[in-house]
Structure 1
């Protein structure tokens, strides 16, 4: 039987940083590595963005306007009750500051100035260590939570059938790979003895595309003539 492969990308990351240049630099490096990135310029916006998008990972600057980074971290851990991994970013270099950050619930702590490559490496290290804490996958604002059967685009819920959700998750687990209709039939109907035709898959794909189009989601699902379909993530 054909099985899903393991893909370390498809993770959504929220950057809460008031310095626009630093925020954009981090975003560029993370997106280059295949992560879905959202931005917030202050602590209040960071809380609002976390509430809306429920990211897999959060990078938080401690010195933020409106609401401090410490309060954002505290809100994520105590009010939201989320164990989403967190990296604290700050110009403070004292050991006590690093310890306080970790005690607040951060998974790692990095001081400014830092190399964007080092930050990306730290993100990947924390994600490997906390892989089971992110039960969702995201690409270009489309997020699927397979355990809950929930799908949304930039916070807007999509009402998909079970098979449509499974197909979308299958595509997103294999970005940029061509998947055959036979693979999709095997995934959706593993224990069905009666014949399921390729036409059934085509109908599922058509309906899925229409529902994504209704919320102005990117047209990511491409038809590859004679081979199947491809989810073009980047």
Structure 2
């Protein structure tokens, strides 16, 4: 069984492929202050070489690059790499067509310029954690342990009495952790385009909250009013 323990420090090794020196310097200064380790490339072909030869938790990739554009770098990375390296595209292109092209090439997330450095870091952490969650059988977030093979979850070693829908919601929130999942996104992932009763999600959230939090000293399931829902470890301060 493969087990992923999400690091408390959330320290990541990141490859930043960006030809604008001021942008790269600002990102590097902020991310390194948060404890992350960065390598750099200013050309697309150089970035592809590093991404396929070295181990990175994440690649931050600009689209407009000399040597090879970001779309082609991402496409080639997906073809050449023996593992799935999460890719966050960072670009001034904000048209929906550009985003579709990026995701089609294999990008995992897309952030448009100008952007908040804090949001960039949160997205990087979430993307790295989501990658672990999607590829490992057992995931641990603080006192919460999710066993994908058994489709069960426990907290502080105590098995949680989850119904099928509660387990599905918990996994969706864990995959997004620490990012908030909106009500509309959660509804779509649970029911797709099939219509459902307006109170159905509220009822399932209520049951999940009782199972996950009622018997424990702090609440992990947070409601962000007007936005959606998120999991929070007691150590987290972002929500």
Q: Structure 1 length normalisation: TM-score?
A: 0.52
Q: Could you tell me which residue of structure 2 aligns to residue 43 of structure 1?
A: 44
Give 1:14 deviation, angstroms. 0.1
Give structure 2 stretches of 5+ with no counterpart.
137-239
Cα distance per residue 1:147-182 (max 9 Å; x no partner): xxxxxxxxxxxxxxxxxxxxxxxxxxxxxxxxxxxx
Q: Could you tell me which residue of structure 1 aligns to residue 120 of structure 2?
A: 119
**Mapped partners of 1:59, 1:7: distance in 2:** 22
Q: Could you tell me which residue of structure 2 aligns to residue 74 of structure 1?
A: 75
Mapping 1:72-221, distance limit 5 Å = 72-131=73-132
**Mapped partners of 2:7, 2:111: distance in 1:** 28
* CA contact 2:14–2:36 (8 Å) conserved in 1: yes
Give structure 1 stretches of 5+ with no counterpart.
136-234
**Does the alignment pair 1:28 with 2:33?**
no
**Mapped partners of 2:83, 2:39: distance in 1:** 18
Give 1:11 deviation, angstroms. 2.2
Q: Could you tell me which residue of structure 1 aligns to residue 14 of structure 2?
A: 13
**Mapped partners of 1:130, 1:26: distance in 2:** 22
Give 1:109 deviation, angstroms. 0.2
**Mapped partners of 1:105, 1:41: distance in 2:** 20
Higher RCO structure, 1 or 2 (CA under 8 Å, sep 6+): 1
Change (3 A) 1:114 1:6: closer
**Mapped partners of 1:6, 1:72: distance in 2:** 29
Give 1:51 deviation, angstroms. 3.0
Residue 130 of structure 1 aligns to a residue in which SS? helix
CA RMSD of aligned residues (A): 2.2
Q: Could you tell me which residue of structure 1 aligns to residue 66 of structure 2?
A: 65
* CA contact 1:16–1:46 (8 Å) conserved in 2: yes
* CA contact 1:83–1:133 (8 Å) conserved in 2: no
* CA contact 1:57–1:85 (8 Å) conserved in 2: yes
Count of residues in correspondence between the two structures: 132
Residue 114 of structure 2 aligns to a residue in which SS? coil
**Mapped partners of 2:59, 2:120: distance in 1:** 12
**Mapped partners of 1:119, 1:35: distance in 2:** 12
**Mapped partners of 1:33, 1:131: distance in 2:** 21
